[in-house]
Structure 1
Amino acid sequence: MAKISNEEQSLLAPFYTVDQGLDKIGAGLFQFNVFVYSGSLRAFHALIDLQLALLIPTWQCEFALSNFQLALLTAMFPLGNMIGVNPLGYLCDKYGRRRVVNVANIFIILLSAVSAFVPNFTWLIIMRFMLGLIDVATSMCTTYCVEFMPARWRSVAVVSISLFWTLGTCVLVGLSYLLVPIGWRYLVLVISILLCIPPVHNLCVPVSPRYLVEKGQLEEAKKVLKLGARLNCRSLPEGELSTNIQSVQTYNSTCQQQQTKKEGILTIFRKKYRLTTFIMSVIWFTCGFLGYGAVLITADIFTYDNHCINHISNTSMSHFMSHCNHLTPQNYFDYLVTTLAEIPGIIVTVFLVEIIGRKITFILEFAISGIGFCLLFICFPFETTTKTVLLFIIRAANAGAFNLTFLYTGEVYPTVVRARALSILSTFSRVATILTGFVSQVLLREHFQVAIGLFGTVGLLTAVASILLPYETRGKRIE
Structure 2
Amino acid sequence: MARKQTEPIAIISLRRLSMRIPEPQPQESKTFTVEDAVETIGFGRFHIALFLIMGSTGVVEAMEIMLLAVVSPVIRCEWQLENWQVALVTTMVFFGYMVSSILFGLLADRYGRWKILLISFVWGSYFSLLTSFAPSYIWFVFLRTMVGCGVSGHAQGLIIKTEFLPTKYRGYMLPLSQVFWLTGSLLVIGLASVVVPTIGWRWLIRVASIPGIILIVAFRFIPESARFNVSTGNTQAALATLESIAKMNRSFMPEGKLVEPILEKRGRFADLLDAKYLRTTLQIWVIWLGISFAYYGIILASAELLERDLVCGSKLKSKSTVVEAGGHLEETQSPCYCHMFAPSDYQTMIISTIGEIALNPLNMLGINFLGRRLTLSITMGCTALFFLLLNICTSSAGLTGFLFTLRALVAANFNTIYIYTAEVYPTTTRALGMGTSGSLCRIGAMVAPFISQVLMSASFLGALCLFSSVCAICAISAFTLPIETKGRALQQIK
What is the TM-score with the length of structure 1 in the denominator?
A: 0.91
- The amino acid across from 1:280 in the alignment is I
Q: Deviations over 1:56-96 (max 9, x none)?
A: 00010001100010111110110000111111111111221
Q: Is residue 291 of structure 2 the alignment partner of residue 275 of structure 1? A: no
- Give distance in 2, aligned partners of 1:152 and 1:478: 11
Q: CA 1:386–1:22 in structure 2 vs 1: closer, same or farther (change >3 Å)?
A: same
- In the alignment, is the contact (CA less than 8 A) between 1:411 and 1:478 conserved in 2? yes
Work out whether residues 17 and 244 of structure 1, in 8 Å CA contact, stay in contact via their aligned partners in 2.
Answer: no
1:467 matched residue in structure 2: 479
Provide the rounded CA distance (Å) in 2 between the counterparts of 1:418 and 1:63: 43
Deviations 1:419-443 (A, max 9, x none): 0011111122100010001111111
Structure 1 contact 302–384 (Cα < 8 Å) conserved: no
CA distance change for structure 1 residues 402 and 116 in 2, over 3 Å: closer, same or farther? Answer: same
| 2:382 paired residue number | 368
Cα drift, residue 304 of structure 1? 5.3
Cα deviation digits, residues 364-411 of structure 1 (max 9, x gap): 10011110001113xx43211111111111111110110111100011
Please name the residue that 2:170 is paired with. 154
Tell me what 2:396 maps to. Answer: 384
Q: Cα distance, 1:133 vs. partner?
A: 1.2
C-alpha distance in 2, partners of 1:162/1:25?
Answer: 26
Which deviates further from its counterpart, 103-112 or 230-239?
103-112
Aligned pairs (5 A) from 1:80-159: 80-159=96-175
How far, CA to CA, are the matches of 1:458 and 1:155 in structure 2? 26
Who is 1:188 aligned against? Answer: 205
Q: What fraction of aligned residue pairs are identical, expressed as a percent?
A: 29
CA distance in 2, matches of 1:125, 1:304: 24
Letter in 1 for 2:255: E
Q: Which of 352, 355, 359 is the aligned partner of 1:338?
A: 352
Letter in 2 for 1:467: F
Alpha-carbon contact 1:209-1:222 (below 8 Å) kept: yes
What CA deviation, in whole Å up to 9, does each residue of 1:152-185 have, x standing for no partner?
1112122211210111111111111110112111
Aligned equivalents of 1:116 and 1:263: distance in 2? Answer: 36
Structure 1 moving runs of 4+ over 6 Å: none
Distance 1:239 1:265 in 2: 35
Which of 3, 17, 22 is matched with 2:33 structurally? Answer: 17
The residue aligned with 1:318 is: 317
Q: In structure 1, what is the equivalent of residue 237 of structure 2?
A: 220
Counterpart residue number, 1:249: none
Residues 302 and 387 in structure 1, CA contact (< 8 A), matched pair in contact too: no
Report the counterpart of residue 407 of structure 1 in structure 2: 419
1:242 corresponds to which of 259, 280, 289: 259
- CA drift at 1:24: 0.6
Write out per-residue CA displacement over residues 353-372 of structure 1, whole angstroms, 9 at most, x where no aligned residue.
Answer: 01111111011100111100
Measured in 1, the distance between the counterparts of 2:52 and 2:269 equals: 29
Amino acid at match of 2:367: V
Q: C-alpha deviations, 1:22-70, integer Å up to 9, x for none?
A: 1111001111111111111111111112101111000100011000101
The residue identity in structure 2 corresponding to 1:404 is T
Contact kept in structure 1, 2:43 and 2:249, CA below 8 Å:
yes
Q: Distance in 2 between matches of 1:306 and 1:85?
A: 35
Q: Which runs of 5+ in 1 are unaligned?
A: 246-256
How far did 1:262 drift?
Answer: 7.4
Q: CA deviation at 1:20?
A: 0.9
Aligned amino acid, residue 475 of structure 2: A
Does 2:220 align with 1:203?
yes
The aligned amino acid for 2:304 is D
In structure 2, how many angstroms separate the alpha carbons of the residues matched to 1:382 and 1:140? 42
Which structure is larger by alpha-carbon Rg, 1 or 2? 2
**1:237 partner SS:** coil
Q: Check whether the contact 2:110–2:266 (CA below 8 A) recurs between aligned residues.
A: no
What do the CA deviations read for 1:214-265 (whole angstroms, capped 9, x no partner)? 01111111111111111111111110111157xxxxxxxxxxx78xx37933
Residue 3 of structure 1: CA displacement? 5.5
* 1:288 maps to 2:304: no
Name structure 2 gaps, 5 residues minimum: 1-20, 320-334
Report the Cα distance in structure 1 between the residues aligned to 2:167 and 2:393, rounded to whole angstroms: 49
One-letter code of the match for 2:280?
A: T
Match of 1:356 among 355, 362, 370: 370
* Structure 2 SS opposite 1:180: helix
Match of 2:9 in 1: none
- Distance in 2, matches of 1:221 and 1:152, equals 22
The normalised TM-score by structure 2 is 0.89
Task: Name the structure 2 match of 1:397.
Answer: 409
Amino acid at match of 2:72: I
Is contact 1:68-1:438 (8 Å) kept? yes
Flag the 1:196–1:262 CA change in 2: closer, same or farther, 3 A. Answer: closer
Preserved CA contact (<8 Å) 1:85 1:136: yes
- What CA distance in whole angstroms lies between the structure 2 residues aligned with 1:279 and 1:339? 28
| Letter matched to residue 55 of structure 2 | G
DSSP-derived class of the 2:486 partner? coil
Task: Measure the CA separation in 2 of the matches of 1:263 and 1:198.
Answer: 27
Q: Which residue of 2 aligns with 1:302?
A: 306
Q: 2:373 touches 2:479 (CA, 8 Å); kept in 1?
A: yes
